[in-house]
Structure 1
Amino acid sequence: MANVDDDKRFAGSIPRLYDTCLVPLIFEPYAADLVSRLQVSPSSSVLEIAAGTGVVTRTLAAELPETVAIVATDLNQAMLDHAMAVGTRRPVDWRQVDAMHLPFDDESFDAVVCQFGAMFFPDRSKAFAQARRVLRPGGVFMFSVWDEIAENEFADVVTSAVAAMFPEDPPRFLARTPHGYYDRQVIEQDVEQGGFSMPPQFHTVAARSRATSPRIPAVAYCEGTPLRNEIETRDASRLEEATEVAAAAIAARFGTGAVDGKIQAHVVIAVK
């Protein structure tokens, strides 16, 4: 039986593996895409929620004018600790914050951005209402979510391979949470219920996920995400086996050398 609280538990070695394996595998191209869509004035302030290990934060700090103030937040202190240890090219205000209860005044920011965090919010319309509350009039809320798992090949292969190890209680974290919030109508309804009066813009962005070997995505997903928590809950002694099974499944489909799989996400832009 799934424990949804474990879906949000990024602790232990997960932050390091997440940043070193998963970030270059799937997150970096979307960080660049997200920041390229953000248009702010030199005097603007930007809030990032669910910053994780800081891939978008680093891109914001590198690409936006140095006069733009950046506040980066996440629920998980372990993820923030890793992000701060990696650092940014200029100062960023890092804070542990729950996106459901943003501790900022009304109309404090010109933009709120969130890459692949909305799927983890227990009440998305409430979180979206918080984002809207802290935006100034005309401000933009921009967030990305993964498309369904069938459109994300490595994640799909890993999920099927690991499920076969535990047929009576298959781990479904990847399908349930990262790839479980993709329906456009549902997302648009949540944005509307969050108080945004204009329909959001919706962009579907396909990209490629590349690694030098099948083991890299296997480690990334099995050991660098909360899928690890599900595997270890079933049998902690089988984590390495699960990683090897996932690597073999990726190799069977994509080859034993460098691998290249499709990834796909939605970028949603709402204006206050």
Structure 2
Amino acid sequence: MNKDVRETPENGAADYEEHLGPLIFEPAAKELLSHIVTLPAHSILEVACGTGRVTRHLRESFPAATRLVATDINTDMLDIARQQLNDPSISFQVADAQQLPFADHSFDLVVNQFGLMFLPEKQTGVNEAFRVLKPGGHFVFATWDRADSMPLTELLLNTLIIPVFKGEDTTRFCISTALHDPAVLNTYLENAGFQHHRVMFVSFKGHANSPQQVVNSYFLKHPLGRAAKEKEPADFDRIANELEEAVIQRFGTGAFEFELRALVGIGRKVD
């Protein structure tokens, strides 16, 4: 049983890893790796590695001799990844995905899970992935699908959070699920120079140990919860309670699985 964490201190990157990590990012990492493991790679760059969920699977899935560089612009996230993996064979570096500090043609594989939608200049980020790839190399990335394609995200965002900010610009709450059009993603790949590319929808399951784990992860220790608390403190407990009640009504009081959807894009740089 997961305890209520609303009274515990805020710790952004650590909260992200502890709560959202196992709930959604671990199953997403496994799904992404299923599209990567068959690709040949002697050198891998991970962009926007966060707390290292994908990084761990990359290290475990490729030979020890494979060069692995994991980067993120957020030093707190990167510190957690470095501590969690504690692997000297992985090079962790602070880097902006829009201005990678690597020479042209440096890597066989570039990976980016759920980082592209947060870039101010998304095309630049894809261009940079293309630039640092060796001829014949691959760029593999994932973005979340629409919020209304995932029951828990839809419930929290559209039913409980958005109404609190009625009359305000709420697009900031939708950034993570805003890049869900395959045509747009294919255009980024084509404009960057990828002559062979495709974008596909994928579905996979998240697993929650309890409704309280969902409340902790999706609200109490989530930026959405912090925003709601700053806007109207009285709504914080109400939304948390309503979310738990809605989850129990739909999934029951015990452990359960729930639908997650993403888009996976793959671009190959011609020889």
TM-score (norm 1): 0.87
Q: Which amino acid aligns with 1:52?
A: G
Aligned match of 2:52: 54
The aligned residue for residue 243 of structure 1 is 240
Per-residue CA distance 1:191-223 (angstroms, 9 max, x = gap): 11222233x222221112221211212211224
The answer to whether residue 186 in structure 2 is matched with residue 162 in structure 1 is no
Tell me the CA shift for residue 234 of structure 1: 1.4
Distance in 1 separating the partners of 2:170 and 2:15: 19
In structure 1, the residue corresponding to 2:254 is in which secondary structure?
Answer: coil
1:238 Cα deviation (Å)?
5.0
1:210 is aligned to: 207
Q: State the alpha-carbon separation in 2 of the partners of residues 170 and 220 from structure 1.
A: 24
* Distance in 1 (alpha carbons) for counterparts of 2:267 and 2:107: 14
Aligned to 1:270, what secondary structure does the other structure show? Answer: strand
Q: CA deviation at 1:151?
A: 1.2
What CA distance in whole angstroms lies between the structure 2 residues aligned with 1:86 and 1:254?
32
Matches within 5 A, 1:1-272: 13-38=11-36, 39-41=38-40, 44-88=42-86, 91-159=89-157, 160-169=159-168, 173-174=172-173, 176-198=174-196, 200-235=197-232, 239-272=236-269
Residue 168 (structure 1) shift? 4.3
Do 2:110 and 2:133's aligned partners in 1 also have CA atoms closer than 8 Å? Answer: yes
Offset from partner CA, 1:214-246 (integer Å, 9 cap, x none): 121221122444324422441457545443332
| Structure 1 letter corresponding to 2:53 | V
Q: Is the 8 A contact 2:70 2:93 kept in 1?
A: yes
SS in 2 for 1:65: coil
Cα distance in structure 1, aligned partners of 2:30 and 2:193: 28
Partner of 2:4: none
Cα deviations across residues 114-150 of structure 1 (Å, max 9, x unaligned)? 1111111111111000000000001000001111111
String of CA shifts for 1:83-115, please: whole Å, max 9, x gaps: 112125562111111101001000000000011
Q: Any stretches of 5+ residues in structure 1 without a counterpart?
A: 1-11
Aligned length: 258
Q: Secondary structure at the match of 1:177?
A: helix
Q: Is the 8 A contact 1:171 1:227 kept in 2?
A: no
Distance (Å, rounded) in 2 between the aligned partners of 1:104 and 1:236 = 45
- Hey, what's the Cα distance between the residues in 2 that align with 1:33 and 1:90? 26
Separation (CA, whole Å) in 2 of partners of 1:244 and 1:55: 30
SS of the aligned residue for 2:128 comes to: helix
> More deviation in 126-135 or 209-218?
209-218
